[in-house]
Structure formats: structure tokens, C-alpha cells
Structure 1
């Protein structure tokens, strides 16, 4: 019998610079690399990146990008051993694309700038890849006409892929971008519709289904567009009637929205999920004011799975596949706590339904009612108690 059960544990390390805690600007501008560790935009300066290869134990590097661009980092993505970033003051005259070579002493390479927009009209929505191509989705005005634009930004000069004249400055309030196959999806909180870009036909289009009486949440950590890996996108919107935040699901197949429950949980951006094995292959989220961590199941069952109630020292600020950083710069890691299980018995009922009875050390592992316990492993017939 071999099992693993994962939950969070404090690493004992604090990410700080000159005694000042460093936590991420938001839960989207943070990335995790298998070799080069954690990297994120600083909460106090959107032009600086913090990188640590050892969870903040000894190695904390502060990269100042003002030498390459004075613009604020709006989005990014790890591609191979490079961290690609798009920078723009939202609004700005143009956006700048650059990347940090993680395997080359964090050398910064300036790719180039966009061109052709009216002064002060450029808003960046996101940076994404489809295949080997790197793209930026933005909003800008040309001759006073607002439009959505998708660019190919692998090299300069950037190549315009498509435009659509259905944008306005208010459309800068959007969700993050999620890529499914050859399409991107993001939610426009002004029109309350989903917008997509199809790379196969290089076409920006709109899905007619809308949500009513909704607007962008006040806390911008809530504007993820999460994906269950099958058919459902999840977004959060503020109800204009009661001012509460609600979770909505959107079926990619049916192109329809469904309003679910009141929801104050910041979800991971789908693009930041890099894990391939359970439980690191599923998107997680954190409650913005309580010590609760949730997970999106592959098949939505009407609610998110509560997977941890670990007692974090400060307010949670960001989450990745393996780590959480709080407002004090303290870092926590999701690890295997199978050593906390004192005894486990597998029962196999007459209707062939297996279930597990276990005793655990509550000092190391806290379990509460309605919590989803994910136990990963294998067992043989010799391990089973048959009823």
C-alpha cells in the first residue's frame, strides 16, 4: 500500500529585501518554473521582478526592468527557460514586450514596442501562446476609433493578426485570458460577454450570450478565467443589485452562462497551471479574507472542493501549483503529509464501493467537515478489508 496526502506547510522562509516583505502584486503576476523557482512582480513596484530558486531560503534576486522599460508589467508567461512579459501603463502610447533569460543570469532581452495607436489609448489585456507563436491581445484607438487588436510579438516589428472595432475604453476591465486549443477566451465586463480569438482563421469574434446586472469585482484578484480542462470556464462578477461577488460558469460547447453562488475566492489563471500530476494539475484558488484553499475538479460538481484550512500567518496574496505567499512575504508549500496519517484501513463493501477509514495527527493536518480529501496512491487486494 502506497499513498500520498497533500496539504500546506510553512517553509520557514520569508521573501524580503532589506527587511521589507515582498509579496506579489496580484495572484496572476506570479510564475513557477521547475528549475528556476518562483518569480513574481513586486507588490510595491510593477516594474520589478523578484526571483527565488530556493523558496527564499538564501537566494532572492530583485530585477529592475526600468533600464529596459519604465512601463508597468501587465502580463507574462514562462516559455521554455524564458519569462516573457508585456509592459504597459494601461493606458499608454504603446506596449513593450521583453523576456528574462532565466538560464542566462537573468539577462533581459528587449523584443520591441507596438506602434500605430493614438497617444494614451493602449490597454494590454494579456500575453499568450498558441503553438510556438507568442501573442498580445490589447485594446487601443486609431484615429479615435477604439478596437481590439491581436499581435504576433515573437520578433519586432510586431505583426497585426486581426482587429475588431467593438471596443471602448471601458472594455479595459476584462478577465484574464485562457487558451483552449487554437482559441483564446476572455470576459469583457463592460459588455458582459466572452470574446475570443481563433488563431486558425486569425479572427477576433464575440459570443452573444451575456450575463445580466454584473460588473467587474472591486478586488482585481477575482478576475481570473479558470478552466476545468473539459468544457467549463469560471469567472467571478459583482452583482450590481446586492454588490456581492458571484461565480459564473460558461460552457464552451453551449456558449451559455450559468450563475452559481456568492463567491469571494481568487482563482489561479489557467495559463499559470504547469503541473501534470495530481494534485498539481488542477487549478486552485484562495478565499480573499479567510484561510481556505479550494480546487476546481475536472468535472464540476456544483461547488468548488475545499482542500485546505491551513492557518496562514498573513492574508493570502497569491497561489501557484506548489506555493502560497502571504502578505508578510512568508512562503508555504504543498507537500506530502502522509506521515501525519497514523493508521488507514481500506474497506470494500458488497456493492464494490471502496472507502477509507483513517486516523491522523491533527497537529500537522487539519480536517474539517465538507473538506475534500485527495488521497493518491495504489493498493492491492491484500490491503483490503472486505465487508
Structure 2
């Protein structure tokens, strides 16, 4: 067995022994490992001295945000076995990350990253209908536009549109565009009250004033929507490849980056319909729809936390390749990733990182658990696989 996989297996057994208990075969496997090398027994003893339950409690607290609380209340009863399986996997990962300095460093030399990579923050550019560009990171632009019909306000982290009592259809065909660069995030409240969270390296084109005939936006990148309900006037999110998500009033995530072949939407609450030409799929809460040119639209039951936690300040990865993880993180931390060998891309890792923390802790955990090595050179992250 690969030494990395072997260590992860032992870590899982120790965790299980201290929570729900081992069966006879598992206990025998763990005992054999303890007897194989005196260092193993010393490691086992030290692990029992560690209060790793505090680490596990982080996953129990992941639903402190109201949106995730609603999800757990609705979904955990229907998908108990599915959720329990994911939770056990996540718990084992936290445990392995927490015991890294004790267990995984037992026989390997670990060199932490030499520099720090700081997280992103609130930044965006607003392109007005007349072509003017405004840097929203400059908080002096508190009130951008005020007319008899329209008010646009900016507070440095979010942009808010509102129409006045005198509003007509004058602005119905006027579009603005919100551009969030790498290392950025921004929120947007549309004139109908719909709220949008834009992730790094994303663009949203939208009507200045949404009305009875125009509730349509255009997304490039990733965004989370909480759409104001209007049964008579559906809300549409248009993405690349002419894929559209139709909404009546709901909470959902859409991901459609230019450098990724697939388009996906994950539903937390309400109902959405993804369509591509004549192909249409309607989602229920707790499901994901993915469009790929060669496969069409496919749906699966998922743990929505894995796809929406980013807007609550956290990234969660379960059985993801290093390549996919770093592609997501490179947008938020505004870094370029270079692989010195292809094998490093396919290493599988599970773990989490808080968006506003330095990335170093996660990189060290990935080095420990995944057999890979990182070197930071300015804003470039060099990744290699340790044979």
C-alpha cells in the first residue's frame, strides 16, 4: 500500500476507535500497526493525549449561517445516510490535519512554504450603461447615481440598486456590468431586491431596473443568488453555451467559468430549471445540475454545503484533486499555479480553508496528507509530487 494512503488509513482507524469504536478486524489491523514499530506505539500514545474533538467541532459549526441552517433542517432527515457518510469523511480529514505534526511527520521531512499568500477581499469594477468605469473599492463613491427614478449606492463591499416612486420603464433596457477580479468578491442587490454574491474572477451583466418584462442577467464565473419571488415573472440567469437557469424565487449557486467546460447549478431552496435548447431539467432542493457539451444535462443529489460555503467565508473540499482545489483557490488568492510534474495534479485531498486566512495552513496540511510539496515564489505557487 502507498505510504500516504497507509497513514491516512491508520489515522481513520484511530479516530474511529475514539468515537464509535472498531470492529474486530479493524482493531486487529490497528494493533498490528502498533506492534510493527516502537515509533508507531509512541505516536499512538501521543495521539490519545490530543483533544482532537475540538477540531471535529468545527464541522458541526459550519451551519452557523442562516442559509446552511435551513439546508440542514430540510435535508438531513431525507438524506441521513448520505450526510453521515460525508460527515465521517470530513471528520477524518480534520483529524488527520490536526495530528499532522505528530503522525505524518513521523518519518518525513516537512518544509513549510517559505512565503505567505494573503487572501482576497472586497473589490470590483462597475461598468455603467454609458461606458464609464468606477472602481468600487474606493469607498468615497458611496452614492454613484441619483436620479428621479434610480439610486445606486456602494459601501465598499456591496452595491445596491433601488428605484423611486417615480420609476418608469425608462431604464428597462439599460444594463450595468459588475466585474470582480481575481482576489476579489462583491455583493449586489438588484432593484427588485434580488441579492447576488459574486465570487472571484466573475462578471454579471444586469438591467439597471428590473421590471415586469425584464428579469434577466448574464453570468460569467460563479455567483450565489437569492431571488425575490415573483410567480408571474421568472428570473433568468444566462451563462455560456446558451445555457439558462429559470427561477421563480429561490436560493441557488451557479458556476460557469470560461476555462471550465461544465456549467453547474446547485439548489438550496425553491425550484430552478436548467435548459439548453430543447433539453430542460427541473431541480429540487439538495440537487445539482451539470451541463457538459458531450453529455448534456445530468443531475445528482449533493451536499450543497460543498458548493455554497464559499459565500460564508469557507472553502470545503471532499475527495477533490489538487488540480481542482488549486484552480478554485488561485482565483481567490490571486496566484498562478505551476506543476513541476503531472502526478501532483491528480493527488486527492479533503479539507477546508477559511477564505480570510493565510493559505499556508492548508498547504502544509496538503503536504502532510497528500505527498506533495509546495514552493511559493511571489504570486506563483510551484507544486511537485514527492516520490
Q: Which has the larger radius of gyration?
A: 2
Name the TM tier (shorter chain).
Answer: 0.3 to 0.5
More strand by share: 1
Q: Report the TM-score when normalising by structure 1.
A: 0.32
Q: Report the TM-score when normalising by structure 2.
A: 0.32
